Every structure is written in C-alpha cells, then in structure tokens.
C-alpha cells in the first residue's frame, strides 16, 4: 500500500512497486546532478534515435546518397547500430564523473525478475506462432533472407543478431531507462524509452509497431524490477530467434 498526501492508503501494484523502487537520487547524489545526468542521457538518446531511425529505414550505406544504387550489407548495418546504441552511450556514461556501467543495468538481474522474464517468454510463444503465419511478417523476417536458405548463415546471423539485440536492450532498458529515471522519475523513464523504442520500429510490419510500445513499457518495468537489462536482452533475443525459426518453418522452400 502507498500513503497519499491526505493520509489515505492506496493499493500498490507490482509494476508500481518495481518502478518506485528505483530512487531518483543515488547515495551521495544531488537533485541537480541527477537532472544533469538525465539531461545528458536524454540528449544522447534523442540524437541516436533520430539518426538510427532515418538510417535503418533507408537501404543504402551510411556514406552513400539517395539514388546511389549502392546496397547495404548486414555487417555495415550491425556496425552502425552497435556504434549508436552501445558505443556512444557507453562513452557518455564513462565521460560523466562518478558514473559506472552498473548504474545503467550492467549487473546480474534479481532472480525473481529473471523468472518473470522466463514466464513472459512462455506466454509469448502462442503470439509468435500466430504472427509467424501472417504474410506481413513472413515477407519481412528473417531480416536477412539468406538465413532461411543456409544453416551456416542462419547460425552466423542469429549470433550476430544476438549482439544487435544486446545493444538495443542496453540502449533502451539500460541507458535510457536507468539514466532518465535518475532525474525525471521511473515512470517518465519507462514511458519515454518505450516511445523511443516504438519509433525505432517504424518500417516494420504494423502489428509489430503497435505492439512495440506496450512491449517497451513491459520491458522497462522488468528492467527496473530486476535492476538490470540483461534478462530483458535474453527475453528479446529468445523471442526473435524463436520467431525467425517459426517463420522459416512456416514458409515453403525454407531450411525445414
């Protein structure tokens, strides 16, 4: 239960407990410092989201211009996204005095939260099975079509896709969620990173775009509850891998 300013008790949900468990001020911190940290995180985050949303939606290399006719490789796509979602945020964290990666979710998740992540994966299986039968998803996934034609490339792609998912989860559920919660509060952080997460899905099938906002909120709460983003990464990667395999199985002419 929570006490309001009038002294009344209000029921407390598990989600509320999770987000309110993250203090706005760390030990030895000040309100001004927390606002400064969250402002830096916000500026870096907004810059990355704007750039990568534009980059990910166009098919040509980062150095090319529209109409150049040049194609973009998976390796370049991966490198650009890893730079924007992992390297730049980590540089921002390390550049701020007294900040550590652990404060942004690079830590072992709380066991109870990891169990919730496992339960969510099981709950998602029927949804993934249903979505894998939709033409819109079959035409889009795997995002590298070669993965549906070669076992060797499938293994290579899914491993590198896992690294890609790690950068996504660090950026949204680590850097943005924990960084914005410091100065703006946990609920604002969860909502803001979920909006950014949804924007970054523009260009994907419409059901996924719509669902990404709700998924972003759920994963943000899960990260705060577990004091980590690592179990969110495992959940996201497991769902993505499972979905790719389901689609390859559902589409005639695939590997199996």
206-219 pLDDT, tens per residue?
999 999 999 999 99
Residues sharing a CB contact under 8 Å with residue 102, sequence separation 6 or more, in sequence order: none
Domains of the chain: which residue ranges? 10-250
pLDDT at position 3 is: 41
Rounded CA-CA distance 75/61 in Å is: 11
DSSP helix/strand/coil, 212: helix
Q: What gap in Å lies between CA 225 and CA 230, rounded to an integer?
A: 12
> Considering the entire predicted model, what is its pTM?
0.86
Tokens found for residue 227: 């004091």
What pLDDT was estimated at residue 253? 81
Q: Does 22 score more than 90 pLDDT?
A: no
Residue 241: closest CA among 142, 123, 169, 152: 142
Q: Are the C-beta atoms of 228 and 216 separated by less than 8 Å? A: no
Question: What is the average pLDDT score of the chain?
Answer: 89
- Return the pLDDT at 108: 95
Bridge partners, residue 3, by sequence:
9
Residue-wise pLDDT for 45-90, tens only, equals 999 999 999 998 887 777 766 666 667 899 999 999 999 999 999 9
Q: Indicate the range of 14-18, 95-99, 251-255 predicted with least confidence.
A: 14-18
What is the phi/psi pair of residue 67, to 5°?
85, 5
Comparing 21 with 215, the larger pLDDT belongs to 215
Residue 169 has pLDDT above 80, yes or no: yes
Hey, how many other C-beta atoms are within 10 angstroms of the C-beta on 158? 18
Closest CA to 250 of 148, 133, 157: 133
Given a cut of 60, whether residue 26 has pLDDT beyond it is: no
SS3 30: coil
Q: Stretch 193-201: mean pLDDT, rounded? A: 97
Q: What's the pLDDT at 25? A: 44
Least confident of 33-42, 52-61, 105-114, 201-210: 52-61
At 232 the pLDDT is 98
């Amino acid at each position: 239960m929570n006490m309001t300013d009038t002294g009344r008790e209000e029921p407390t949900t598990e989600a509320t407990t999770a987000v309110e468990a993250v203090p706005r001020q760390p030990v030895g911190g000040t309100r001004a410092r927390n606002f400064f940290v969250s402002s830096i995180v916000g500026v870096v985050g907004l810059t990355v989201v704007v750039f990568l949303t534009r980059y990910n939606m166009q098919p040509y290399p980062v150095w090319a211009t529209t109409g150049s006719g040049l194609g973009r490789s998976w390796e370049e796509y991966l490198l650009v996204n890893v730079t924007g979602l992992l390297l730049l945020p980590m540089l921002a964290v390390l550049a701020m005095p007294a900040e550590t990666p652990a404060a942004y979710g690079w830590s072992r998740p709380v066991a109870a939260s990891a169990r919730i992540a496992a339960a969510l994966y099981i709950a998602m299986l029927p949804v993934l099975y249903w979505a894998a039968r939709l033409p819109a998803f079959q035409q889009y996934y795997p995002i590298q079509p070669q993965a549906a034609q070669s076992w060797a490339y499938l293994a290579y792609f899914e491993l590198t896709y896992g690294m890609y998912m790690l950068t996504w989860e660090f950026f949204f559920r680590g850097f943005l969620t924990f960084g914005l919660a410091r100065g703006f509060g946990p609920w604002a952080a969860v909502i803001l990173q979920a909006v950014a997460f949804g924007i970054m899905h523009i260009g994907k099938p419409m059901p996924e775009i719509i669902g990404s906002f709700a998924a972003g909120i759920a994963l943000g709460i899960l990260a705060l509850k577990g004091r980590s983003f690592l179990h969110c990464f495992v959940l996201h990667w497991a769902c993505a891998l499972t979905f790719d395999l389901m689609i390859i199985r559902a589409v005639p002419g695939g590997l199996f």
